[in-house]
Structure 1
Amino acid sequence: MKNLSIALNAVLIVAVGILYVLHFSNSSDDSTEVKTVAGEGAVVYVNTDSLLSNYNFSVDLNEKFLKKQEDSRTDFNFKAQKLEKEAVDFQRKLQNKGFLNRERAEESQRKLIAKQQNLQQLERELSNQLMGEQQANSKRLFDSVTNYLTEYNAAHNYSLILSTTKGGNVLLSQDGLDITAEIITGLNGRYTAKAE
């Protein structure tokens, strides 16, 4: 969740920068003065911690990802325990001279080593798959939020929409500059409408 929050913050900052440049490059007014109260030309911000924990799409993506991660971990742990049992059985059989000859013991050991290497490969593949899915989820979430912010800002005409986190860059602001609740309400309304 922390990685998703960091990724979303970075992407939101870039998107806000683009919106800022687009706004001033298309403006016929040469004034670069930024207003300090919410309204046209104002600089406002969204708390991404609140956004991620209250935006239903983000919550749903996170829950699905955690379930898949848990299922993968459970499957992997089952296979690892099975391999561990085979290794213990091999060691016991070796100590009790349970192999007919040395070649059979070495063959069993090679099979066990191959299974261990396959399990390590599976662990890497699962890790890469989960990382890829997390990145895809971050992109989907970022696209959803930035698309909504573009639509939202068309009606409000803010100069800049920043993202912050608890303890982030925005420590204090005038009332009305935090648009987090309004953005969450709009995003959830749009998400609910798409789900129906």
Structure 2
Amino acid sequence: MKTATRFMHSAMALAIAMLFIQCKNNTGQTAQTTESPAKSNVTSSNRLPIAYVNLDSLLVKYDYAKELNEKLIRRQENARASFNEKARELDKEGAEFQRKYQNNAFLSQERLEQEQQRLLKKQQDLQTLGQRLESENMQEQVKMQMQMADSINNFIKEYNKNKKYEVILNNTSTLYIDPSYDITNEVVDMLNKRYHAKK
């Protein structure tokens, strides 16, 4: 569960960075063009041409984000189960070695040392496996975060072609935003429709 939360927060941070880049690019482009429809509407209604997305809610409600999170959790559970199985095998062999040692069951000192070396090698292999599995899980997590951030970023670009906002913010880096600027539910609904249409 801790990893899932870390995944969601990491994905959120990546999506935030991409959204800020998107907003900065859009602001530079809008400054060069004539007054957009959103600007004229904003002036007449005294509303700013901005919106925000609640990223926590988006990541909880976006089906693609949920699917990626579940996939990551399954992968981590499988890796943990595989590692734990090998660790149990090593523990059994270590206990058997200890029993033989205490009962003087080794035929020679050389045979005792060979068995010690074999168990040490197996322990080192297990540590290497643990590090490799952790590294693979981290790489997969980064890959999934990038996929999700890319999905959200591409959608926001398409979404804003019609909406003409100058800035689309996220709520995680602000102290207060008028709730009437919140477009989260609309964005989530459209993201989910697009995601299921692609499936």
- TM-score for the superposition, normalised by structure 2: 0.86
How many residues align structurally? Answer: 189
Asked if 2 retains the 8 angstrom alpha-carbon contact of 1:39 and 1:156, the reply is no
Shift of the alpha carbon at 1:46?
A: 1.0
* 1:182 maps onto 2:186 in alignment: yes
* 1:80 maps onto 2:83 in alignment: no
**Please, what is the CA RMSD of the aligned residues?**
2.4
Equivalent residue number for residue 17 of structure 1: 20
Shift of the alpha carbon at 1:55?
A: 0.6
Which amino acid in the other structure matches residue 96 of structure 1? N
C-alpha change, 1:192 and 1:36, in structure 2 (3 Å) is farther
Which has the larger helix fraction?
2
Equivalent residue number for residue 135 of structure 1: 142
1:63 and 1:181 map into 2 onto residues whose CA distance is 22
Which amino acid in the other structure matches residue 83 of structure 1? L
Q: For residues 84-99 of structure 1, what are the structure 2 equivalents within 5 Å?
A: 84-99=91-106
Shift of the alpha carbon at 1:171?
A: 4.4
Which amino acid in the other structure matches residue 113 of structure 1? L
Equivalent residue number for residue 53 of structure 1: 60
Which amino acid in the other structure matches residue 163 of structure 1? N
In structure 2, runs of 5+ residues without a counterpart are none
1:194 and 1:48 map into 2 onto residues whose CA distance is 22
Shift of the alpha carbon at 1:29?
A: 4.8
* 1:153 maps onto 2:157 in alignment: no
Asked if 2 retains the 8 angstrom alpha-carbon contact of 1:12 and 1:162, the reply is no
User: Secondary structure of the equivalent of 1:176?
Assistant: helix
2:96 and 2:162 map into 1 onto residues whose CA distance is 70
- TM-score for the superposition, normalised by structure 1: 0.87
1:139 and 1:109 map into 2 onto residues whose CA distance is 45
Asked if 2 retains the 8 angstrom alpha-carbon contact of 1:40 and 1:156, the reply is no
User: Secondary structure of the equivalent of 2:51?
Assistant: strand
Which amino acid in the other structure matches residue 6 of structure 1? H
Cα-to-partner distance string for 1:89-114 (whole Å, 9 max, x where unaligned): 00110010000010000000000000
User: Secondary structure of the equivalent of 2:173?
Assistant: coil
Equivalent residue number for residue 129 of structure 2: 122
Equivalent residue number for residue 74 of structure 2: 67
Shift of the alpha carbon at 1:56?
A: 0.6
Shift of the alpha carbon at 1:17?
A: 2.6
In structure 1, runs of 5+ residues without a counterpart are none
Cα-to-partner distance string for 1:122-156 (whole Å, 9 max, x where unaligned): 00010001110000000000000000000001111
Identity %: 37
* 1:107 maps onto 2:114 in alignment: yes
* 1:26 maps onto 2:6 in alignment: no
Shift of the alpha carbon at 1:65?
A: 1.1
C-alpha change, 1:153 and 1:40, in structure 2 (3 Å) is farther
